[in-house]
Amino acid sequence: MESALDRFIRYAKIDTQSDENSTTYPSTQKQFDLLNMLLKELKEMGLNDAAIDQHGYVIATVPSNIPPSHKAFGKVPRIGFVAHVDTSPSASGKDVKPQVITYKGGDLVLPADNTVVISVAENPELKHNIGKTIVTTDGTTLLGADDKAGVAIIMTAAQTLVNNPDILHGDVRICFTPDEEVGAGTKYFDLEKFGCKFAYTVDGDTPGELNKETFSANYAIITVHGRNIHPGSAKNIMVNSIKCIADIIARFPKDQSPETTEGYEPYIHPHILSGEEAKSELKILLRDFKTPGLEVLKKKLEAIIADVQPLHPKAKIDLNIIEQYRNMKDYMGDDTPGLAYLWEATRRAGLDPIWQPIRGGTDGSRLTEKGLPTPNIFTGGQNYHGKTEWLSVWGMEKSVETVVILPQIWAEKSA
C-alpha cells in the first residue's frame, strides 16, 4: 500500500502546466504524461474499466461490493471523486523538487532561493503542523499540490477500498481532468458517461474546510487599438495604446482587488497585460459570489473606459466579457444529502468540519451548474499557484480518510 505522500511526490515531479493561450485540448500535451501514468496505476489496482479518452479524461470505477443479502443492495447511488492534473500557468511546474521536512516552527527559507520565504505571519495554518511532516518547493517552482494532492488522495483512497473488501460501498467513480487551471476542466466532461448522482472534487486546502460556495466568474478583455509610427516623426500621429491602457488600470477600484478583499467581497483583478504602441490587451478577472454582481463589475469597467476615452480620442477601446463559471450554491440546495454525508465523513475522520466559501472556482462549479452536484473537499495544501506553496501531509491523510468514509456513509444511509 503506497502512501499518499509517496504518490504525491511522484506526481509532483511531472510537469503538467496548462497554457491558457493554447488552441489545443488539453492545452498542453505533457498533461498526458501524468494522465497515462494514472491510467496504468488504476489498471494495476484492478480497476479493469479504467480508460482515457481523446480529450485526456481518465475514468475508472471501484465497483460496489455490497452483497445481494445486504439491505442496501441495489439502492446505493453511484458517487464520484474528481481531481485535475494540470498546474497553474502562474509559476513554473518544470523540474519540481519537493522538500519533505518535519516542521519545527518559525519561518521557512526555501533552499534554492533564500528570497522565497514561507512566513508564519502569512500562514496561520503552519502552527497546526508543528512536529508534523510538510512538503514545500525548493523556491524555484510551484509545488503542484493544486491539485496533485487531490489526485494522490483519490488514488490512495481507491487503493484502500480495493484492499479492504470489508468496507462496504456502492460504485465509486473516479475522474481525473486536464486544464482546470485555464477554466476548461469540464469542457468535454461527459456527465452521462460518468453516470453519478453526486460527486466531490478533492481540490480544497485547509483540513476540515469544505466548500459548497464558489465565486461566480467572468473574464473581461479590454483591447486598445492605437497607431504606431517612428518616434522621431510621431508628433500628432502616434496613438500610444500602452498609455491609454495604463490610464485604465490606474482607475481600477483599489478597494476591490484580490489583495484588499476577503470573505464574500467581490473583486476586479487585472490578470495579464500585453502590448505595444499599436495594440495593447488587458485580461481581467471579475469575481463575485452573487452572480448579478458581475454585471455591476462590468458597468464599473464601462464607466472607466468612458472616463479614459476622451483622454485618448484617437484610440479605439473594446471591452469583451466572457462567461466562465457560476457559484455552485445557485444550483445546489443546502439540504442536499450529499452535503450532510460529507460533513459527517469529515467529522468521523476526526476533524471539526466547517463550510468555507471558495474565493475561486473548481471543476465542481461547472459540474454543479450542469446538473451534477459537486462540492469540494480539502487536500491540506496552501498558497496555491506560487513558489511558497506547501502541503500538510497530515491534512492530506485526513482527506484520504474522509474520502474513504464517504462511500460507506452513502451505503449506510441507503440501507
- What does the pLDDT look like over 194-238, one tens digit per residue? 999 999 999 999 999 999 999 999 999 999 999 999 999 999 999
Among candidate residues 280, 303, 324, the one where a domain is terminated = 324
pLDDT for 334:
81
Q: Are residues 224 and 209 in the same domain?
A: no
Residues 142-201: pLDDT tens digits? Answer: 999 999 999 999 999 999 999 999 999 999 999 999 999 999 999 999 999 999 999 999
Q: Are residues 209 and 221 in the same domain?
A: no
Active-site residue, 86 included: yes
Active site residue 277: no
pLDDT band of 346, cuts 50, 70, 90:
very high
Is the domain of 297 the same as that of 320? yes
Q: Does residue 333 surpass a pLDDT of 90? A: no
192 and 243 both lie in a single domain? no
Query: How confident is the prediction for the chain on average, in pLDDT?
Result: 97
- Mean local confidence (pLDDT), 123-145: 98
Share of the chain above pLDDT 90, in %: 98
Which percentage of the chain shows pLDDT scores above 70? Answer: 100
Whole-number pLDDT of residue 358: 94
Residue-number span of the structural domain to which 177 is assigned: 4-214+327-414
Domain end (from 324, 347, 380)? 324
Catalytic residue among 86, 171, 369, 389: 86
Burial of 385: CB neighbours in 10 Å, binned 0-12, 13-18, 19+: middle
Please tell me the predicted confidence (pLDDT) of residue 1: 82
333 in the same domain as 314: no
Q: How far apart are CA 361 and CA 323, in angstroms?
A: 13
Residues 315 and 290 in one domain: yes
Instruction: Give me the CATH number covering residue 283.
Output: 3.30.70.360
pTM for this predicted structure = 0.94
**pLDDT tens, 87-118?**
999 999 999 999 999 999 999 999 999 999 99
Final residue before a domain boundary, out of 324, 355, 385: 324
**pLDDT reported for residue 335:** 82
Candidate list 180, 181, 288, 397, residue with the active-site label: 180
Residue 51 sits in a domain whose CATH number is: 3.40.630.10
174 shares its domain with 277: no
pLDDT tens digits, residue range 375-410?
999 999 999 999 999 999 999 999 999 999 999 999
What is the pLDDT, as a whole number, of residue 292? 97
d(CA 349, CA 404) in angstroms, rounded, equals 9
Reported as a single tens digit per residue, the pLDDT across 13-60 is 999 999 989 999 999 999 999 999 999 999 999 999 999 999 999 999
Q: Do 316 and 340 have their domain in common?
A: no
What is the phi/psi pair of residue 217, to 5°?
-135, 135
Q: 210 and 239: one domain?
A: no
State yes or no: pLDDT of 415 exceeds 90: no
* 24 and 128 assigned to the same domain: yes
Q: How many independent structural domains does the chain possess?
A: 2
| 340 shares a domain with 312 | no
Length of the chain: 415
- Output b/e per residue, 58-73; b: 16+ Cβ within 10 A: bbbbbbbbbeeeeebb
Amino acid at 249: I
Residue 229 and residue 208 in one domain: no
